[in-house]
A = this chain, B = another copy of it.
Amino acid sequence: MAKLPKDSHRVEDVAYAEYLFEKFYVIGSISTGGVTRLGYSDAETEMHKMFKSIGEKEGFRYEEDEVGNSFICNSDSDSYYLIGSHLDSVVDGGRYDGVAGIIAGLIVLKWVKDNKLDIPIKVGAFRCEESSNFGKCTVGSGLVTNALNKHDVAETVSKDGRTMEEIFKENGYSLYPERISGVKQYLELHIEQGKILEEYGERLGIATTIAGPKRFLLHLIGEAEHSGATPMDMRHDALCGAAELISEIESIGRDEAIWKSVATVGTVELKPNALNVIPGSVTLGVDIRGINQDSLNRMENRIKDSGKKIAKKRGLKFYRDKISEMSPVVLSRNMQETLSHIAKDMKISHRIMISGAGHDAMSFAEICDTALIFIPCDKGISHNKNEFATIESICDGAILIYEYLHEVSK
């Protein structure tokens, strides 16, 4: 083991992490207090430029790949460890989602340099991890691992109305990139975006599986009628049907919680959405996630059946669109065990857990051994200006990655 503090962090490490955090801080800041750094927007590009400038200042080599992902490298070896995350954010998001993992990678790179270790590492910042701009997540990592292809993304349209294809053309990027090569193992640190670590009082999480999200739009169509002039027994109120369906989806999620599945209605679109009109149509956006494929399928079927049953009973029309579907991703068991063993040695309390949220690690799990490490975030809040994680937590994760790389590259 390298001589690094285990229970508390060195002042200079905390200072370096803070320095890195400050470098990114102002980019994409908005008046509400949060940041908006949408994937493939100018704000995200500015983040990548800052990343480049930080790396070059430390004397590292910079690379950009065919889709705009950025890499800071301590060697030009054909075979390297990749520590990755992202620099984009949701609309009005927080400053830790993605950035925490990049900071951790840069700290590890510096420690490896300072300790003159010969471990080939690239820190990779992947473009457009959030679905907020194009409705597609993990675009940069997906394209270079070939988990995504041109057809998945070319026609998607950004919030300002441009297709991915147009943006790629403008920037000289390719929708048919060569598959990334030479990655020995992929490691990612990310804020948990949940409150499990906080509730259990643990310093780090090591993920076993990343839940596979399935997303649907559920449409209920009734009749938009005058709220005053239509007696209760003559109504076909789409919202009352939707309310029943939302309750049912919650109950399905609770039934499947034993399998660590979750079911969420996150969006509601109502027409005409006027105080004096009975809702004529409602569209619910549903996100179900889990690590057990049977549980996911069961939830999907039960939601479909509930929608049909409720619609029939109420004289509504019901149909659904599947937006996306990903299978659960199992991460490297070996890496988890080694990471857990090192964390134990270092007396850093940690928890073996699932990842409910999706991450760039999903893209890499298909092509190499992959590990995902969580740090707690305050009250589990994420995708929000109130998102907060401590610099010490980032250092906890960085030390674990550093010690891990030190161990496996011996």
**Residue ranges of A at the interface with B (Cβ–Cβ < 8 Å):** 90, 131, 192-196, 199, 211, 213, 215, 223-234, 237, 239-240, 242-244, 246-247, 250, 253-254, 257, 260, 262-268, 270, 272-279, 285, 287, 289, 323, 355-358, 379-384
Contact = CB atoms under 8 A, between A and B. Distances in A.
Contacts of A260: 231
Given A275-B287, A356-B226, A233 B247 contact: no
A237 B225 contact: no
A254 B247 CA distance: 19
B230 A356 contact: yes
B257 A279 contact: no
Give the 9 A-B CB pairs with smallest separation, nearest first: A194-B229, A228-B356, A243-B246, A227-B264, A229-B356, A193-B226, A228-B357, A243-B243, A232-B257
A202 B48 CA distance: 71
Contact of A237 (B192, B213, B244, B250): B250
Contacts of A357: 226, 228-229, 276
A400 B292 CA distance: 70
A274 B239 CA distance: 18
B383 A226 contact: yes
Among A242, A285, A323, A379, the one with the most B-chain Cβ atoms within 10 Å of its Cβ is: A285
Nearest to A90: B274
A277 to B, nearest CB: 6
A16 B273 CA distance: 37
Stoichiometry (number of copies): 2
Given A231-B260, A232-B257, A257-B231, A225 B276 contact: no
B275 A267 contact: yes
A382 B355 CA distance: 49
Contact of A229 (B268, B272, B278, B380): B380
B192 A227 contact: no
Given A242-B243, A267-B270, A276-B383, 7 more contacts: A223-B381, A226-B356, A229-B356, A232-B253, A232-B257, A232-B262, A266-B277
A218 to B, nearest CB: 12
Nearest to A130: B276
25 contacts: A194-B230, A199-B234, A224-B381, A224-B383, A226-B356, A226-B380, A227-B266, A228-B355, A228-B357, A229-B355, A231-B260, A232-B253, A239-B266, A242-B246, A243-B243, A243-B247, A244-B247, A265-B279, A266-B276, A266-B278, A266-B279, A267-B273, A268-B270, A275-B287, A276-B357
A345 B217 CA distance: 56
Contacts of A193: 226, 228-229
Nearest to A382: B226
B247 A240 contact: yes
